[in-house]
């Protein structure tokens, strides 16, 4: 049996379902079915870890070349005790032999070697994990900011800018002050109707430039006498 590529999680070595299936010379669906049939016997964080959300994204990022993990919404990774339960459930000579080999050559290799990780390698691994975490955090912050922006209405300065745009437009159309009130009402109504708001103050910040462009191009509907 070829030794699987080492994976560590929470300070201990683990195996993916695919690695465990390969070690036991079976298929991943057999491992998954075996787990489903005996799920009550498995304890999370003792026998397995179910990676989801940000934890799953970080794990996938560390194994970018593994196409089997690319679209999985949840990934199970198995501890030494989890591998033991699978071997016990499968109960074949081949599974037991493979389990013993895993314990000797994979799960307990650190205990046998008793060698500390190379400081440079440890620093590079820690840096990689930190960058991956930061990338996820930045992505979440941007996503939240975009959602918040869609709900923020105009502040006082932006409201004043909008009113100035309306005043400038109306004054450029009508020089007679006594005739401007109808134009103001008309333009305000069109803005409220077009952006479906009860007041210009309720216009969303992200729509401000579009409203200003509309005002700039606006032409009133003149009433015929």
- Considering the chain, what is the average pLDDT of its residues? 84
pLDDT in tens, 108-153: 755 444 455 566 666 777 777 777 777 778 777 777 766 666 678 8
pLDDT at 190: 94
Report the sign of the C-alpha dihedral through residues 50, 99, 86, 43, in that order.
Answer: negative
Domain assignments of the chain as residue spans, ordered by start: 7-115, 117-149, 156-217
Work out whether strand 12-16 and strand 48-51 pair parallel, antiparallel, or are unpaired. unpaired
Compute the distance between CA of residue 225 and CA of residue 45 in angstroms, rounded to an integer.
Answer: 83
**In this structure, how many other beta carbons lie within 10 angstroms of the beta carbon of residue 168?**
12
pLDDT at 143: 74
Compute the distance between CA of residue 141 and CA of residue 137 in angstroms, rounded to an integer.
Answer: 6
Compute the distance between CA of residue 48 and CA of residue 72 in angstroms, rounded to an integer.
Answer: 16
Compute the distance between CA of residue 85 and CA of residue 60 in angstroms, rounded to an integer.
Answer: 26
pLDDT in tens, 103-112: 888 887 554 4
Cβ contact 75:61 at 8 Å: no
pLDDT in tens, 9-66: 888 889 999 899 988 889 999 999 999 999 999 999 999 999 998 888 888 887 765 6
């Amino acid at each position: 049996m070829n030794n699987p590529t080492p994976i560590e999680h929470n300070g201990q070595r683990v195996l993916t379902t695919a690695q465990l299936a390969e070690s036991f010379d079976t298929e991943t669906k057999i491992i998954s079915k075996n787990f489903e049939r005996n799920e009550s016997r498995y304890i999370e964080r003792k026998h397995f870890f179910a990676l989801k959300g940000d934890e799953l994204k970080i794990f996938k990022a560390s194994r970018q070349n593994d196409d089997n993990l690319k679209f999985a919404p949840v990934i199970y990774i198995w501890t030494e005790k989890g591998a033991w339960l699978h071997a016990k459930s499968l109960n074949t000579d081949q599974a037991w032999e493979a389990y013993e080999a895993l314990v000797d050559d994979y799960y307990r290799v650190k205990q046998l070697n008793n060698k500390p990780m190379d400081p440079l390698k440890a620093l590079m691994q820690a840096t990689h994990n930190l960058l991956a975490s930061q990338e996820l955090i930045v992505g979440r912050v941007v996503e939240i900011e975009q959602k918040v922006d869609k709900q923020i209405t105009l502040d006082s300065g932006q409201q004043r800018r909008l009113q100035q745009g309306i005043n400038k437009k109306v004054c450029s159309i009508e020089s007679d002050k006594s005739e401007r009130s109808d134009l103001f009402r008309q333009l305000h109504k069109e803005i409220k109707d077009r952006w479906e708001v009860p007041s210009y103050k309720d216009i969303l910040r992200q729509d401000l430039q579009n409203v200003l462009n509309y005002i700039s191009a606006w032409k009133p509907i003149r009433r015929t006498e």
